[in-house]
A = this chain, B = another copy of it.
C-alpha cells in the first residue's frame, strides 16, 4: 500500500510529481495533499510553509546536480582531466536538462529563483568541489595559484555563462561549444605553472 504513514519524503515525492504536472504557478499545497490522499493541514504538520516545501524540493533537485559532480571531483585521475570532466559534466547536465524538458527546467528555474538561500549553499558546495580539484593540482605541481579558494570561485564565475540557468536561453546557440572551448583554453592557461 502506498498510503503508509505520511513522511516528509513522501510529501516531497508527491510535490515533485504535482510540480512536474502542473508547473510552479498552478501547484498548490491542496494539490499536493490531494495527490497523497490527505488533507492540506497534514502537509503543514511536516513543512511549516509552502516556501519551506518549495525549498526542500529545490534542494533535492540541486543534489541531483552536485552529487554526481562530487564523484568526479574525487576521482583518482589527473587534476587537469578531472577539472575538465567536472566542468563538462556540470555544463552538459544543465544543458541537457534545459533542452530535453524545457518546461520542467522552467519550473526548476522558478523554484530556484525563490529559494535563494538553498541555491547559495549549492554554489558553495560546487566551489568546495573545485577547491578539492585545485588542491590536488597545486600539490602535484600541474596547477599554479597563490590562493586556491579565490581561484576556485573565479573559475566558477568565469564559466557562469555555460552553467548558470540565467543564461539558458543561449545554450542552444550554435557557437556555444566554441565559446566554451575559448573560455576553457584561457582558464587552463591561467592555471599553468610559470
In angstroms, Cα B187 to Cα A154, docked, is 10
Interface pair B190/A154, CB less than 8 Å apart: no
Closest partner residue, chain B, to A152 (CB atom)? B182
Binary B-proximity of A167-180 (CB < 8 A = 1, otherwise 0) = 10000000000110
Consensus secondary structure, chain A interface: helix
A21 proximal to B (CB < 8 A): no
| Residues of chain B with a CB closer than 8 A to A153's CB | 179, 182
Cβ contact of A150, chosen from B150, B164, B178, B190, cutoff 8 A: B178
How many copies, total?
2
A181 to chain B, nearest CB (A): 8
With a cutoff of 8 Å between Cβ atoms, the chain B residues found around residue A185 in the complex are 150, 154
Contact partners of A150 in chain B: CB under 8 A:
178, 182, 185
The answer to whether B166 touches A187, judged by C-beta atoms less than 8 angstroms apart, is no
| Chain A, 133-174, CB within 8 A of any chain B CB | 150-151, 153-155, 157-161, 164, 166-167
Closest to A155 in B: B186
